Chains A and B, each alone.
Chain A
Amino acid sequence: SQTIHQWPATLVQPVGSPLSLECTVEGTSNPNLYWYRQAAGRGLQLLFYSVGIGQISSEVPQNLSASRPQDRQFILSSKKLLLSDSGFYLCAWSEGSWLFGPGTRLTVL
C-alpha cells in the first residue's frame, strides 16, 4: 500500500530563516506529487505540483520553491521565511485516487 511521510511534523522558525520540508512516498513509482498549504481560516491552497523528477509547476507566486530530486521525494524550500508562510503544509500523492501526508505545522515568529 502507498504511504506518504513528511518531516518535520512541527517547526517553529524565525522570520528570515531558511526552510526545508521533505516529503517521501512509498509503494508507488512515478507519482504526481503536490504541496498544499492550509493557513489559519483559509482552505487548502495548491502551491506546487510535480509530474516527475525535476519537473515543477508553481500555482501561485510566492516566497517558496519546490524541488523533486528523486522519483519519490518532493522538497519544499524557502531562503527567507515570512510571517505569512505560517501554516499547515501537506504533501499529496495522486495516481487516480489521492493520499495526503500527515502534514508539517510551520509557525514563523
Chain B
Amino acid sequence: RKEVEQDPGPFNVPEGATVAFNCTYSNSASQSFFWYRQDCRKEPKLLMSVYSSGNEDGRFTAQLNRASQYISLLIRDSKLSDSATYLCVVNGRGGADGLTFGKGTHLIIQP
C-alpha cells in the first residue's frame, strides 16, 4: 500500500463551483498533515496545515479523520487561479525525517 494516496484527476470544474479532494495515508503514527499547492514547473507551496478539529482559511476547508486515516480539502467558490496540483502531505515520523507526499490531484478550473 502506498504511503499517501490521492486521485490524480484531472478534476475539471466550472468557475464558482465547490470541489473536494480526498487523501488517505497508511502510517497510523503520522503526526502532521498538510495540503500543498504546486503550479506547473514550480516548487510546492504550503496551502494549509490540517488539524484534527478541522480548519478553514477563506474558501479552503481541511478535515482530518485519524480513525479512517483520511484527509480532505474543500474549495468553495473556485477561481481560475485555483487551477494547480494539490499535494497531500504527511509528516509521519517526526524529528528530522522528511515529508511524505502524495502524487497530487490536478485541478482545472474552467471559465
Q: Which residues on A are within 8 Å of B, measured CB to CB?
A: 32, 34, 36, 41-44, 46, 49, 51, 57, 59, 88, 90, 92, 94, 97-98, 100-103, 105
**B97: CB under 8 A from chain A?**
yes
A98 x B97 contact (CB < 8 A): no
Q: Which residues on B are within 8 Å of A, measured CB to CB?
A: 4, 34, 41-46, 87, 96-104
A49 x B103 contact (CB < 8 A): no
Q: Which residue of A lies closest to B41 (CB)?
A: A105
Chain A interface helix/strand/loop/mixed: strand
The 5 closest A-B pairs by CB, nearest first: A43-B103, A100-B43, A44-B101, A46-B98, A43-B101
Q: Which residue of A lies closest to B97 (CB)?
A: A49
Chain B interface helix/strand/loop/mixed: loop
Most buried by A among B4, B46, B96: B96
Q: Which residue of A lies closest to B8 (CB)?
A: A41
Measured CB to CB, the closest approach of chain B to A81, in angstroms, equals 21
Measured CB to CB, the closest approach of chain B to A64, in angstroms, equals 15
B103 x A42 contact (CB < 8 A): yes
CA distance A103 to B103 in the complex (A): 17
B98 x A36 contact (CB < 8 A): yes
